[in-house]
């Protein structure tokens, strides 16, 4: 049902808790930009698909990950973000609602990027944007403002 995708570079201090917070996902795909720390070693302990790709820009890295996603829904998450249980439940409920094809989940901390959740048939990543851009879905995106703290 859901493919969790992320890009990484030298995330050894984050990757384990990050992966553990995605236990509700059917698959986890990480595009690593040739980390020089233990990011890949740690991620390999879990049932993740690790892809190595030299970093050129965020959109190309995410598009590369997207090619390997096998589920109907795609969740883009940054490696320093965590998905607490209450958010996992809300994500699953939102996907099952059938009301929208895309969701932008905003963290309360302004420095963190929004988590992006999309139906795989509806996604388009444009290289001119640092993060996900949805021209055909812009009017359908639902912003879920959640009352939780992201651990750091």
Query: What's the pLDDT tens digit per position in 53-67?
Result: 999 988 889 889 988
Q: Are residues 137 and 118 in contact, defined by beta-carbon separation less than 8 angstroms?
A: yes
Q: Which tokens in the block code for residue 147?
A: 């009352």
The confidence score (pLDDT) of residue 93 equals 86
The confidence score (pLDDT) of residue 84 equals 85
Is residue 151 included in any domain, yes or no?
A: no
The confidence score (pLDDT) of residue 35 equals 98
Strands (E), 48-101: 49-52, 73-76
CATH of the domain at 81: 3.90.550.10
The confidence score (pLDDT) of residue 69 equals 93
Is residue 152 included in any domain, yes or no?
A: no
Q: What is the pLDDT along the chain (152 residues), one digit of tens a residue?
A: 899 999 999 999 999 999 999 999 999 999 999 999 999 999 999 989 999 999 998 888 988 998 899 999 999 888 988 888 888 888 888 888 877 777 776 655 554 555 577 777 665 554 433 344 433 333 333 344 333 333 33
Q: Which tokens in the block code for residue 92?
A: 């699953």
Q: Are residues 66 and 123 in contact, defined by beta-carbon separation less than 8 angstroms?
A: yes
Is residue 150 included in any domain, yes or no?
A: no
- Residue 3 to residues 16, 75, 98, Cα–Cα distance (Å): 17, 6, 17
SS3 category, 93: helix
Is residue 118 included in any domain, yes or no?
A: yes
What domain range includes position 94? Answer: 2-145
Is residue 71 included in any domain, yes or no?
A: yes
Name residue 115's beta-bridge partners. Answer: 105
The confidence score (pLDDT) of residue 146 equals 37
The confidence score (pLDDT) of residue 140 equals 35
Is residue 35 included in any domain, yes or no?
A: yes
The confidence score (pLDDT) of residue 100 equals 75
φ, ψ dihedrals at 97, nearest 5°: -70, -30
Q: How many domains does the chain have?
A: 1
Query: What's the pLDDT tens digit per position in 26-51?
Result: 999 999 999 999 999 999 999 899 99
Is residue 130 included in any domain, yes or no?
A: yes
């Amino acid at each position: 049902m859901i493919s969790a995708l992320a890009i990484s570079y030298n995330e050894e201090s984050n990757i384990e808790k990050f992966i553990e917070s995605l236990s509700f996902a059917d698959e986890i795909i990480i595009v690593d930009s040739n980390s020089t720390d233990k990011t890949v070693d740690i991620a390999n302990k879990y049932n993740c698909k690790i892809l190595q790709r030299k970093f050129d820009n965020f959109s190309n890295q995410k598009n590369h990950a997207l090619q390997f996603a096998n589920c109907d829904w795609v969740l883009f998450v940054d490696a320093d973000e965590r998905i607490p249980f209450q958010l996992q439940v809300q994500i699953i409920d939102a996907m099952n609602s059938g009301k929208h094809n895309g969701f932008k989940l905003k963290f309360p901390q302004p420095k963190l990027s929004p988590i992006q959740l999309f139906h795989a048939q509806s996604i388009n990543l444009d290289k001119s944007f640092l993060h996900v851009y949805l021209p055909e879905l812009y009017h359908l995106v639902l912003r879920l403002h959640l009352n939780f703290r992201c651990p750091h």
